[in-house]
Structure 1
């Protein structure tokens, strides 16, 4: 498979389709099959976070790249800001400089690497001491522990602060034909030479050809301002394959990469097959409602 790449202002070179590792099985042989398939398919960005399985996801990823020796052929991104505890389900939001400076060491150790290509704040609130958070990321970048940083957020007021006062490369947001809320921010993001990491491109399976099975299981209350009936009607009227359509739509946006998760080789190969059909312009955006973020403006 040939994958095109997009480069951010700090020189990070993202494969247009990348792998979100959050739902990788904890069984290593299973996870290894998924990761190997991604690598063999020229996917070069792997996205994780310290919170995923309390560090086990990072450890799994680190083991895989230590075994195959391809660490320097790929980009690894992780996230920070959620303080978790062994033996407890408690998670505290902590975007402090101290927590970030300590957490990066733990992530690097688990991943078996001496640098992260991308480090993202895993959330963010307007009440945070954002200057302190930004200072921590800038120090890590100067020290070479990270190549670039960003924020994973769906709060417009927080995103706008980081666009104005930090040197972020990327904003990670759920983004797809159904959840097109990021459209209200794309011009501002692009104007700052920042790019989007589009997570959730298939909306939990709703933007796949299996949508009729997914609807009653995961969306029996509808979605946003769609009823179940309207979702079914809308999705049935899309002429091109749904996953291809949503990828075509996203690749028209200021996106660095489409971060598609996979918990099985079958899910991954389905995403890869859809990407191989991408033509960068055929999509059914006009069939979907335009929605906006209504909170944290």
Structure 2
């Protein structure tokens, strides 16, 4: 496993584990998490919203029982005010909510600090000064080592690039969804790195792509019709997952955050990562996409 370091000194494994889809059964999840550690994965990504805090509790229990807390980069997210009694979720990027949210997350995770704390969304109407004040307080108090945002809104991303000390931006990013390219120069100029979520695009960029198209993408996706999608993916010579990983790791990416709901899925992701050569990818076979909203 290779690693990449951000300006705050966080050392990310190039392949990280997105924990959102871990099984709720602890023993099943434990097997995946142990395999991740055995595979030298060090970035573990969660959020307070995932299973209404239970995902954080699961990770907390695992690292309490298995150790390694000092060996990993643990990231969580805040900004969604959720109810345990209903499915209602309210957006709340206020100072008060963030300062309260970190206490809840640390308690559930069984740790006294987070390596990375991210705003889980964001709109241009938010009081960004108040949000940043909260993150800076947490950093000064040693409760977090660094902060960032999870967003695909260019106007929000640019505001944070211009007015904050963010370490990372989490974005959906892969060969099909290459919209982040339009922001990469601005991101790199601020010495910020990307956490690439959705690297295999719901299974489209795997060896199961044709069956995934038939099951989930009858209407196509983005500017691709079903036929265009089928033809584009079938024209890639190397394994699609290897190609998208090569593509992402040729960009200012700190980690490819790939989810896994089984040991087999994680093992497959690792096997593809081990084929990465950092150069070979099929970007020229894919359309050039751009963000069209929130500009």
How high is the TM-score relative to the length of structure 2? 0.99
Match of 2:188 in 1: 190
Number of paired residues?
Answer: 295
Q: Which residue of 218, 230, 233 maps to 1:232?
A: 230
Q: CA deviation at 1:218?
A: 1.7
Trace 1:268-287 onto structure 2 (pairs within 5 A): 268-287=266-285
Q: Structure 1 residue 143: deviation in Å?
A: 0.3
1:92 alignment partner in structure 2: 90
- What is the SS of the residue equivalent to 1:61? helix
1:166-245 matches, cutoff 5 A? 166-245=164-243
Which residue does the alignment assign to 1:50? 48
What residue is the counterpart of 1:294 in the other structure? 292
State which drifts further: 259-268 or 274-283.
259-268
1:201 deviates by 0.3
Secondary structure of 2:75 counterpart? strand
- Higher mean alpha-carbon deviation, 5-14 vs 213-222, is at 213-222
Give the drift of 1:198: 0.3
Partner SS for 1:205: coil
Report SS of the residue matched to 2:202. Answer: helix
Q: Equivalents in 1 of 2:218, 2:26: separation in Å? A: 34
- Distance between the aligned counterparts of 1:268 and 1:220, measured in 2? 27
Which of the residues 103, 106, 119 maps onto 2:104?
A: 106
TM normalised by structure 1 equals 0.99
The answer for unaligned runs of 5 or more in structure 1 is none
CA distance in 1, matches of 2:107, 2:233: 44
Structure 1 residue ranges, 4+ long, deviating more than 6 angstroms after superposition? none
Q: Does 1:124 align with 2:134?
A: no
The 5 Å alignment of 1:55-94 reads 55-94=53-92
Deviations 1:212-246 (A, max 9, x none): 11112221210001011111111011000000000
